[in-house]
């Protein structure tokens, strides 16, 4: 079989931990969730570059519905630390199991891709690596440093795991400390991300079902700590809807994120990857997303992206520019 992105299925089961789960039939998508199959020349060129540089993308691994649109614009979200996750979230289509060996040359290849694509903004994410002492934080820092050296004008957004029980990992990513860089990198200038993103994904009541390896309040503290470490850094988080949450719970998540001084909220429709994944409870209408967006802006977020097809890195470059404008306007209004 092939996955929606065109990747051939691996010989071993992609989600061995889900093999014995009961089947959850996948409902037919409403019209507002239908997208064209990817196929533009730019899409194929981006795909070819990722293959040539042996890079993974969350666009492919998670079967993102926006891949055709984004890759046509040569915007790919690179997924570092391998393509196998140590967690087993019931919503996610990234492969799970024994993780890959860490590739010490991956940061330089990511930087090469950024330069080749001419990106003004890049999103770097990863699988969870609970097997590593630092959860992969040092590899994030190396990747940030490599991009800074190869593309000085490119802004960098990281979408990180929660680094659960990994002391010092968050500080390593926020500061991108030079002492963790590998010796192949030259002097690094301003080696820290411009945006720190960590997704809550869902409401706390559903964590044991949807994110069994994570802790809601740990993720909140992580976002709060980023602001304490660097108050000027933009922070961002996202949730999916349609998993079985209710409106009151979603509004509480917004309040929790604002208490952690998170700047940017993304909200999108959960789409069930296979019959073994968490069931879709319902499809949230575009009008409901508009309502959620209004509520979130009223609670003080600088920027909110809420639509059925919104994903963490969807239109990330344009949104970062809007985020900076929004902060400048807020500071000017405050006098």
* Element holding 238 (H helix, E strand): strand 234-241
**Mean pLDDT for back-to-back runs of 10 residues, the chain (335 residues):** 39 80 93 90 91 92 87 90 94 92 95 94 96 96 94 94 95 71 45 94 97 97 96 97 98 98 98 95 98 98 97 93 96 89
Q: Which residues of 302-321 are buried (b: 16+ CB within 10 A; e: fewer)?
A: bbbbbbbbbbbbbbbbebbe
* Per-residue pLDDT at 225: 97
- Cα 294–chain centre separation: 23
Q: Rounded to an integer, what distance in angstroms lies between the CA atom of residue 147 and that of residue 55?
A: 14
Could you tell me which residues are beta bridge partners of residue 11?
Answer: none
Residue 43 to residues 46, 69, 92, 123, 278, Cα–Cα distance (Å): 5, 8, 23, 17, 30
What backbone torsions phi and psi does residue 102 show, to the nearest 5 degrees?
Answer: -70, 130
Q: Rounded to an integer, what distance in angstroms lies between the CA atom of residue 88 and that of residue 211?
A: 8
Pairing of strands 78-80, 264-269: unpaired
Q: Rounded to an integer, what distance in angstroms lies between the CA atom of residue 79 and that of residue 77?
A: 6
* Element holding 304 (H helix, E strand): strand 303-306
Q: Rounded to an integer, what distance in angstroms lies between the CA atom of residue 260 and that of residue 233?
A: 13
* Per-residue pLDDT at 316: 93
* Per-residue pLDDT at 19: 86
- Show Cβ contacts of residue 287 under 8 Å, excluding neighbours closer than 6 positions: none
Local structure of 326: helix, strand or coil: helix
Q: Residue 261: name the closest of 293, 238, 236 by CA.
A: 236
């Amino acid at each position: 079989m092939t996955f929606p992105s065109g990747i051939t299925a691996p010989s071993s089961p992609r989600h061995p931990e889900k093999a014995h789960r009961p089947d959850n039939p996948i409902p037919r998508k409403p019209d507002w969730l239908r997208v064209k199959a990817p196929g533009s020349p730019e899409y194929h060129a981006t795909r070819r570059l990722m293959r040539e540089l042996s890079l993974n993308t969350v666009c492919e691994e998670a079967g993102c519905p926006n891949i055709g649109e984004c890759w046509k614009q040569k915007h790919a979200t690179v997924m570092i630390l391998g393509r196998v996750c140590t967690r087993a979230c019931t919503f996610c289509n990234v492969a799970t199991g024994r993780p890959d060996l860490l590739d010490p040359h991956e940061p330089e290849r990511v930087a090469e891709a950024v330069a080749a694509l001419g990106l003004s903004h890049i999103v770097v994410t990863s699988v969870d690596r609970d097997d590593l002492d630092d959860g992969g934080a040092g590899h994030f820092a190396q990747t940030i440093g490599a991009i800074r050296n190869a593309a000085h004008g490119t802004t960098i957004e990281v979408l990180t795991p929660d680094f659960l029980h990994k002391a010092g990992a968050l500080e390593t990513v926020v500061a991108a400390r030079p002492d963790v860089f590998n010796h192949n990198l030259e002097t690094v200038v301003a080696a820290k991300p411009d945006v720190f993103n960590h997704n809550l994904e869902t409401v706390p009541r559903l964590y044991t079902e949807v994110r069994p390896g994570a802790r809601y309040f740990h993720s909140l503290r992580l976002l709060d700590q980023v602001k304490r470490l660097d108050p000027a850094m933009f922070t961002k988080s996202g949730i999916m809807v349609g998993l079985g949450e209710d409106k009151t719970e979603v509004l509480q998540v917004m309040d929790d994120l604002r208490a952690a001084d998170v700047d940017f909220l993304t909200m999108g429709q959960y789409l069930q990857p296979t019959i073994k994944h968490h069931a879709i409870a319902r499809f949230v209408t575009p009008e409901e997303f508009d309502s959620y967006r209004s509520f979130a802006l009223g609670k003080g977020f600088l920027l909110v992206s809420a639509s059925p097809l919104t994903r963490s890195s969807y239109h990330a470059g344009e949104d970062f520019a809007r985020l900076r404008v929004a902060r400048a306007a807020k500071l000017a209004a405050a006098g």
